[in-house]
Structures are given as C-alpha cells and as structure tokens.
C-alpha cells in the first residue's frame, strides 16, 4: 500500500514519521475523511471545500483542489483501491524549533487509503446503541482539526459500553443540549418536524448538509436549533449521519429505546440513490 507525502509516493510498510511535523508535536493541522466507492472519492468537492475554508481561516497553506484530486486519483489507481476510506491530512508544516506561535511554513499534505472500518451491519438494520458523554472539546469544533483527544475519549467510552457512538452534550441555563457524536451528527424526528443541532461549535458535516437537503426535497420541515436532552425521550425517530456511518438509525440512547421510522428508512434509500447519482456523474 502506498501513500502520498507531499509530492512523494511512499511505501507504507517503510513508514514515515517526520518528528518535527506540527501535526505530530502540536496537533496543528486539519484533515478530511471521504468514502471511496467503486473507485470514486464521494463528494470530493464538498470535502475539499471544507478543508480549504478551514486552511484559509487558520492560515495554513494548501495546494489547489485540482492538484489534490490528481494525487487522490493517482493513489486510488496505484493502490488498486476500489472501496474504503480516504484520509487527507494537512499539517501546518515542519517546525524545527517547536515554537507554539504560527509561522509561515510549507504545509504538508498526506493522503492515505484506509480499509473501511469494521461496522456491524446490524446497526443499519436494527439501529445503533449510543450513550451520552460530556462534550469536553475546544472552541474550534466547526473545523476538522486533528485535535481529537476528547472525541477519542467519547468514542472509547461508547465502545466500552457496547455502544456504536457517543452523543455529546453541553449545558446552558435550560439544561443539557446535544452537540454531536464523536464522529457524527444527529437528527431527531418529533411531531413531524426534523431537528438537528445548529452549527454552534459543531462540525458542519458533509453528510449533515446532504441530509438536510434530501429531507427538504422530501417535503420535511428541518429545524436547526439546540435540541435538549430531556426532549430526546419524546423523539419519534433518531438517526446519526457521517461519511462512514452514512444514515444510521439509532435504537437506544442511554436508557431510552426508539423505533426505526418511515422517515429514516426513506432517507437511507434516498441517500444511497444520491451516492449512485454522484458516482455516475464522476465516471
Ligand atoms: N462530527 C464529527 C466530530 C466528525 O468527526 C464527523 C466525521 N467527519 C462528523 C460530525 C460527520 O461529518 P461528515 O459527514 O463530513 O463525515
């Protein structure tokens, strides 16, 4: 298996660890995860757009989307990789002095193809179990930064409780409200409306965006606002969304159980169709 490290193609068995890379010393970098399906990096433009926006915000240099796409296509070909995950990391660069302050450095793009993580198929059929966990993250959660310590804790807590995902919360004067999962966004169907947390220090997920537009096409009323934990028990349907989880029904949140409803099932179908249409347009 090969990977890109800037313009070099590297044999992963030999490995590369550049010890002064600021991603390694400070977590000073950004990343994207895409699905590759039938050799097509799905929603590439949207993912690159999000990466570029954050790179500009944090003043990290980034090469053109066209150049990154050329490398991605080349890597898919060299690795003969038809299905799995694509990881793109943008590090601020190599800093020999390990000084905290931002400097203008040559950034580093690394690109890896990764086998699709092992997910129990039954999660999509019977629904996933999720458990609540406090959101202890920083104030840059609307960017996909490599600082994932708190997400790692949240997901590990979920796994050790036999759950697929965490559902994280913060608190305000009205109580606990849902932010997002360790690596997913949440939706709640209640009295015929569909609620999802507004982008308030959460990742504007690509799948979240696609889900909102599909729901609107389906004629649903999507409300983006704080959704409080005490509203969860009255939800008719709950599902989580992400690049890797796609649209996944949620069956259990802590002590409460939910049915998989019509809206979730219709959405799963529409999302698969959307991916098919995307692949067709890129072949
Ligand atoms: N929130 C977090 C914290 C994530 O890590 C992810 C996965 N990238 C998501 C939401 C879902 O985003 P996307 O649909 O772009 O994969």
Give the torsion through C-alpha atoms of 252, 130, 113, 4, to 10 deg: 160
Q: Which of 52, 144, 155, 251 is catalytic?
A: 144
* Three-state secondary structure call for residue 280: helix
Q: How far apart are CA 21 and CA 27, in angstroms?
A: 9
DSSP 194-257: EEE--SSSS---HHHHHHHHHHHHTT-EEEES--BHHHHTT-SEEEEEETTTEEEEEEEETTEE
Cα–Cα distance list, 244 to 199, 208, 221 (Å): 20, 12, 25
In ligand 1, the atom with minimum distance to the C-alpha of 185 is 10
Q: Which pLDDT belongs to residue 16? A: 73
3-class DSSP string for 72-139: HHHHHHHCCCCCEEEEEEEECCECCCCCCCCCCCCCEEEEEEECCCCCCCHHHHHCEEEEEEECCCCC
C-beta 206 within 6 A of ligand 1: yes
Task: Identify the structural domains of the chain with CATH numbers, from first to last.
Answer: 2-114 (3.30.470.10), 122-281 (3.20.10.10)
The residue behind tokens 């053109």 is 64
Task: Give burial (CB, 10 Å; 0-12/13-18/19+) of 106.
Answer: exposed
Q: How far apart are CA 272 and CA 267, in angstroms?
A: 9
Q: Is the CB of 245 under 6 A from ligand 1?
A: no
Which residue's CA is minimally distant from atom 3 of ligand 1? 183
The rounded Å distance from CA 117 to ligand 1 centre is 15
Q: pTM for the complete prediction?
A: 0.97
Q: What is the pLDDT at residue 163?
A: 98
Distance from the alpha carbon of residue 108 to the mean position of ligand 1, in angstroms: 22
> 185 alpha carbon to ligand 1 midpoint, in Å?
6
Provide the pLDDT for residue 67: 98
Provide the pLDDT for residue 64: 97
Determine the Cα–Cα distance for residues 55 and 43; give it in Å rounded to an integer.
19
Evaluate whether 197 touches 177 at the Cβ level (below 8 Å): yes
Dig out the tokens for 214 from the structure: 């599909």
Q: Which two tokens stand for residue 222?
A: 């999507």
* CB 33 near ligand 1, within 6 Å: yes
Find the 15 Cα to ligand 1 centroid distance in Å: 27
- CA-nearest residue for atom 9, ligand 1, is 184
Which residue's alpha carbon is nearest to atom 5 within ligand 1? 183
- Tokens 């959101």, residue located: 135
Tokens for 89, please give them: 């990391």
Verify whether residue 144 is a known catalytic residue.
yes
Residue 197's closest CA among 180, 220, 176?
A: 180
Ligand 1 atom at minimal distance to the Cα of residue 242: 14
User: What's the confidence (pLDDT) of residue 211?
Assistant: 98
Separation CA 36–CA 279 (nearest Å) = 10
Distance CA 120, CA 140 (A): 31
Distance between Cα 143 and ligand 1 center (Å): 10
Q: Which atom of ligand 1 has the smallest separation from the CA of 243?
A: 16
- pLDDT reported for residue 243: 98
Q: Is the CB of 184 under 6 A from ligand 1?
A: yes
Q: Is the CB of 264 under 6 A from ligand 1?
A: no
Spell out the per-residue pLDDT of the chain, length 283, in tens: 999 998 889 988 887 778 899 999 999 999 999 999 999 999 999 999 999 999 999 999 999 999 999 999 999 999 999 999 999 999 999 999 999 998 889 999 999 999 999 999 999 999 999 999 999 999 999 999 999 999 999 999 999 999 999 999 999 999 999 999 999 999 999 999 999 999 999 999 999 999 999 999 999 999 999 999 999 999 999 999 999 999 999 999 999 999 999 999 999 999 999 999 999 999 7
Structure tokens at 16: 């590369």
User: What is the pLDDT at residue 278?
Assistant: 98
Instruction: Give me the count of residues in the chain.
Output: 283
Nearest Cα neighbor of 105 from 50, 47, 29, 51 is 29
Ligand 1 centroid, distance to 32 Cα (angstroms): 9
């Amino acid at each position: 298996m090969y990977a890109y490290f800037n313009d070099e193609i590297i044999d992963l068995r030999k490995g590369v660890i550049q010890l002064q890379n600021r991603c390694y010393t400070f977590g000073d970098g950004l990343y994207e995860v895409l699905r590759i399906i039938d050799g097509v990096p799905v929603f590439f433009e949207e993912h690159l757009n999000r990466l570029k926006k954050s790179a500009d915000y944090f003043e990290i240099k980034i090469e053109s989307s066209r150049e990154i796409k050329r490398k991605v296509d080349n890597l898919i070909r060299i690795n003969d990789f038809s299905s799995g995950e694509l990881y793109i990391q943008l590090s601020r660069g190599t800093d020999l002095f390990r000084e905290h302050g931002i400097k203008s450095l040559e950034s580093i793009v690394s690109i890896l193809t990764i086998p699709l993580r092992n997910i129990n198929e039954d999660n999509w059929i019977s629904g996933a179990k999720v458990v609540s966990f406090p959101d202890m993250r920083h104030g840059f959660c609307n960017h996909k930064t490599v600082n994932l310590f708190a997400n790692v804790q949240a997901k590990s807590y979920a796994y050790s409780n036999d759950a697929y995902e965490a559902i994280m919360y913060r608190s305000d004067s009205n109580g606990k409200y849902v932010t997002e999962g360790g690596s997913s966004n949440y939706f709640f169907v209640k009295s015929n409306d569909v609620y999802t947390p507004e982008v308030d220090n959460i990742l504007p997920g690509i799948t979240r965006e696609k889900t909102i537009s599909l729901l609107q096409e389906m004629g649903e009323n999507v409300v983006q606002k704080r959704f409080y934990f005490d509203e969860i028990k009255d939800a008719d349907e709950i599902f989580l969304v992400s690049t890797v989880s796609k649209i996944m029904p949620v069956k259990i949140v802590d002590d409460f159980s939910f049915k998989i409803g019509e809206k979730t099932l219709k959405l799963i179908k529409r999302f698969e169709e959307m991916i098919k249409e995307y692949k067709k347009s890129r072949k």
